[in-house]
Amino acid sequence: MNTQTSPSPQFYLTAPAPCPYLSGEMERKVFTHLVGQRATEMNDLLTQGGFRRSQNIAYRPACESCRACVSVRVLVNEFELSRGFRRVEATNADLVSTVFPAQPSTEQFSLFRHYLDHRHQNGGMSDMSALDYAIMVEDSHVQTRVIEYRLRVPGDGISAQPRGELIAVALSDLMSDGLSMVYSFYNPEMEKRSLGTMMVLDHIRRAKALGLPHVYLGYWVQGSKKMGYKTRFQPQEHLMHQGWTRFPLESEG
């Protein structure tokens, strides 16, 4: 059996399936495997080209009649906190964020299940088991990290293993030109904290500290309420047919 990886990625096309974002639409995806010594390099190139990573697969929409899914990245060096974002940061000033290798934990999975059961009961991930979660976190051939966000307790400011309650988690890829937010989840009962927004703001801060110009937020889907929040992080670029383009366009005001 030949186990050598091909020098060029091989791409495949999925069968049509109902779109999870727009009612009445059908989705198809083109995908390839991210494995071998070139996985990190390919992840960078494909993400910059509008792909997303899920485990060891990079994919992007290839729908026949719809182009609603648009890749979004925040321009880190130009980003400024709005009054609303400052409120989110102030509300979450009692949190400690810690970066770990891409390794799952029972505590993470418990929060993950709590999040799915409250926010995505009928989604494609709704029946994921602890093993499924472990694979989602560990099955990566690129530079992936887990960021945990915990309520601060005495001593957590200097501890490498904070002990406060875990209330949010982000799975992120470190790329040559930015951070890519692969998946994030949080305690759905803490709505007033705006934890989803907080994690994006934290990634922008981390990218800036690392000298990286972008934070990749995945796809924005015009007309989908689930994705509407992504356009709040300005300035940003959308990947259009002519390449990465500032959004909104200057002509749009």
| pLDDT computed for residue 123 by the predictor | 57
121 vs 99, more confident: 99
Closest to 146 (Cα-Cα) out of 188, 109, 94: 109
Rounded average pLDDT over 146-175: 88
Percent of the chain with pLDDT over 90: 73
Alpha carbons 163 and 146: distance in angstroms, whole number: 16
Helix (H, G, I), strand (E, B) or coil at 111: helix
Residue type (1 letter), 76: V
Two structure tokens written together for 227: 């994705």
Alpha carbons 132 and 113: distance in angstroms, whole number: 11
Helices (H), the chain: 39-48, 83-91, 106-119, 130-138, 195-209
> 194-246, pLDDT tens digit by residue?
999 999 999 999 999 999 999 999 999 987 887 888 999 999 999 998 999 99
Give the HSE-up count for residue 180: Cα atoms under 13 Å, Cβ half-sphere: 26
Is the CB of residue 233 less than 8 Å from the CB of residue 74?
yes
CATH of the domain spanning 80-209:
3.40.630
- Domain regions of the chain by residue span: 12-69, 80-209
Mean pLDDT score across all residues of the chain: 90
Query: Which 8-state DSSP code applies to residue 225?
Result: G
| pLDDT computed for residue 82 by the predictor | 95
Q: What is the pTM of this model?
A: 0.90
Q: How confident is the model at residue 120 (pLDDT cuts 50, 70, 90)?
A: low
pLDDT at 251 over 70: no
Least confident of 71-75, 123-127, 236-240: 123-127
Contacts of 105 (CB under 8 A, 6+ apart): none
